[in-house]
């Protein structure tokens, strides 16, 4: 890439090894059978799907039977939340105020259906505390849903602790792990998490494919949201997208093998970026820097609105607020929930680094950012 791409939290470029794997499956000489068909072509495709399912399961320390393939984290979140509540009319849900819209809007829909939802605010560091979740749980609570790492700030929530709270209170626990899968260790053998959503395009796989982990023997009464051919144990009907699924499987295997070395390298580049940006003066960092994904840097800039800064930063592809609400004038719901003023939220923006980020990208980003901030402040 000739220009720095610092928006990996919105989506990642597909890894070349993943592209090669997907291409090998397409075409008349590929594996084009319907994985549900019983003939030779179908069985070949089904073997590819099951290999990928096992790769995703291994990255989670899960059983392959616990992986339900979906179109991405949005669908996984909908299946987890609405599927679990289907037979619990008006059950109470506990979630956080800093969730992605793929959880917040599902919860708003649940409220429209007559259900109750508590939105727990984070602390000033952007973290959702286990004690705050414990206080919000009521006898009527049917589900707790808290994201692992936030897409805007990169701040990591204590899902192990929150899971223990939920397990002790007998409440199912869903985690949106779209940002953390492939970057942080996730072991379903030790985490008290019942449902967990992932999306391949956040870990160098293709768009339009994801999965929901569903714990076996947890007595979860999960109901499908999509009805039809009965694929995925009846939980998600529809013909399986063999090449997309194989791409996600390989991306998960690569993430498992390279996660730790990527983490160290990317965090070092991110720290270098922060040092360079902080040197400009009048810039503060949003969120807990010690409990943060390696590639995230969310900053608040004195005296300059992000919507004026972004065009000047077009060369380095950064984001103000979350990608899903960019373009809208509303301030980030994540930053305001942390206690930032509306004005401070409008002066904040997100850099997110990834596997393809180089040291020269960082040097260029610091230069472009410093020049733009100084010019707009003048
Ligand atoms: C990207 C993202 C999603 C949505 O994933 P899709 O693949 O677009 O469905 C959900 N939650 C979080 C935290 C995300 O970062």
- Residue 340 near ligand 1, beta carbon < 6 Å: no
- Please state, rounded to an integer, the average pLDDT across all residues of the chain: 95
Mean pLDDT, residues 184-203 taken together: 98
Mean pLDDT, residues 124-140 taken together: 98
Q: What is the pLDDT of residues 329-342, one digit of tens each?
A: 789 999 999 999 99
Question: Would you place residue 94 in the very low, low, confident or very high pLDDT band (cuts 50, 70, 90)?
Answer: very high
Task: Calculate how far, in angstroms, residue 113's C-alpha sits from the geometric centre of ligand 1.
Answer: 23
Q: What percent of the chain has pLDDT over 90?
A: 92
Res 324: pLDDT = 46
Question: Does the model's pTM come out above 0.95?
Answer: yes
Mean pLDDT, residues 315-331 taken together: 70
Q: What percent of the chain has pLDDT over 70?
A: 98
Nearest alpha carbon to residue 237 among 30, 33, 36? 36
The Cα 189–Cα 192 span in angstroms is: 8
Nearest alpha carbon to residue 213 among 163, 168, 260, 165? 163
Q: What is the pLDDT of residues 28-68, one digit of tens each?
A: 899 999 999 999 999 999 999 999 999 999 999 999 999 99
Q: What is the pLDDT of residues 216-232, one digit of tens each?
A: 988 999 999 999 999 99
Question: Would you place residue 320 in the very low, low, confident or very high pLDDT band (cuts 50, 70, 90)?
Answer: confident
Lowest mean pLDDT among 72-81, 318-327, 338-347: 318-327
Lowest mean pLDDT among 98-102, 197-201, 303-307: 303-307
Res 321: pLDDT = 62
Nearest alpha carbon to residue 374 among 318, 319, 309, 288? 309
Question: Would you place residue 328 in the very low, low, confident or very high pLDDT band (cuts 50, 70, 90)?
Answer: low
Task: Calculate how far, in angstroms, residue 4's C-alpha sits from the geometric centre of ligand 1.
Answer: 22
Q: Long-range pairs for 195-198 at CB < 8 Å and ≥24 separation? A: 195/80, 195/84, 195/220, 195/222, 196/60, 197/73, 197/76, 197/77, 197/80, 198/56, 198/73, 198/76
- Residue 215 near ligand 1, beta carbon < 6 Å: no
Tell me: pLDDT of 123 over 50. yes
Domains along the sequence of the chain with CATH: 16-254 (3.40.640.10), 259-377 (3.90.1150.10)
Q: What is the pLDDT of residues 203-218, one digit of tens each?
A: 999 999 999 999 998 8
- Closest residue by CA, ligand 1 atom 5: 73
- Closest residue by CA, ligand 1 atom 14: 178
The alpha carbon dihedral of 28, 29, 35, 40 has a sign of positive
- Residue 147 near ligand 1, beta carbon < 6 Å: yes
Question: Would you place residue 327 in the very low, low, confident or very high pLDDT band (cuts 50, 70, 90)?
Answer: low
H or E element, residue 377? helix 359-377
Mean pLDDT, residues 315-326 taken together: 69
What tokens does 22 get? 């997907």
Tell me: pLDDT of 248 over 90. yes
Tell me: pLDDT of 326 over 60. no
Nearest alpha carbon to residue 327 among 306, 341, 301? 306
Task: Calculate how far, in angstroms, residue 200's C-alpha sits from the geometric centre of ligand 1.
Answer: 10
Nearest alpha carbon to residue 35 among 180, 284, 240, 172? 240
The Cα 155–Cα 175 span in angstroms is: 14
Q: What is the pLDDT of residues 268-285, one digit of tens each?
A: 999 999 999 999 999 999
3-state secondary structure 115-166: CEEEEECCCCCCCCCHHHHHHHCCCCEEEEECCCECCCCCEECCHHHHHHHH
The Cα 283–Cα 301 span in angstroms is: 5
Task: Calculate how far, in angstroms, residue 100's C-alpha sits from the geometric centre of ligand 1.
Answer: 7
292 flagged as catalytic: no
Res 323: pLDDT = 43
- Residue 149 near ligand 1, beta carbon < 6 Å: no
């Amino acid at each position: 890439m000739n220009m720095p791409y610092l928006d990996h939290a919105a989506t990642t470029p597909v890894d070349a090894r993943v592209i090669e794997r997907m291409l090998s499956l397409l075409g008349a000489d590929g594996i084009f059978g319907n994985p549900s068909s019983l003939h030779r072509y179908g069985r070949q495709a089904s073997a590819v799907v099951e290999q990928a399912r096992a790769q995703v399961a291994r990255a989670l320390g899960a059983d392959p039977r616990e992986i339900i393939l979906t179109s991405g984290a949005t669908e996984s979140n909908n299946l987890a939340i609405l599927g679990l509540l289907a037979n619990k009319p008006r059950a109470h849900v506990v979630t956080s105020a800093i969730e992605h819209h793929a959880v917040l809007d599902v919860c708003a829909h649940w409220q429209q259906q007559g259900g109750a939802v508590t939105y727990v605010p984070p602390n000033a560091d952007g973290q959702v505390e286990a004690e705050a979740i414990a206080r919000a749980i009521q006898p009527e609570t049917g589900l707790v849903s808290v994201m692992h790492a936030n897409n805007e700030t990169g701040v990591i929530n204590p899902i192990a602790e929150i899971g223990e709270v939920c397990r002790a209170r007998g409440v199912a626990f869903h985690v949106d792990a779209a940002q953390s899968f492939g970057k942080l260790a996730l072991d379903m053998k030790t985490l008290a998490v019942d449902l967990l959503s992932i999306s391949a395009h956040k870990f160098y796989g293709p768009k339009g494919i994801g999965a929901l982990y569903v714990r076996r023997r947890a007595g979860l009464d999960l109901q499908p949201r999509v009805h039809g051919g009965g694929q995925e144990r009846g939980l998600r009907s529809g013909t399986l997208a063999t090449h997309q699924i194989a791409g996600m499987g390989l991306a998960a295997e690569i993430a498992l093998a390279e996660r730790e070395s990527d983490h160290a390298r990317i965090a070092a580049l991110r720290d270098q970026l922060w040092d360079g940006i902080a040197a400009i003066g009048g810039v503060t960092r949003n969120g807990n820097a010690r409990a943060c994904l390696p590639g995230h840097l969310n900053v608040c800039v004195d005296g300059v609105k992000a919507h004026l800064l972004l065009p000047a930063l077009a060369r380095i592809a950064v984001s103000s607020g979350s990608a899903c609400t960019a373009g809208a004038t509303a301030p980030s719901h994540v930053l305001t929930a942390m206690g930032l003023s509306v004005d401070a939220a409008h002066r904040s923006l997100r850099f997110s680094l990834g596997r393809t980020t180089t040291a020269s990208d960082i040097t260029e980003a610091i230069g472009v950012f410093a020049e733009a901030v100084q010019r707009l402040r003048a």
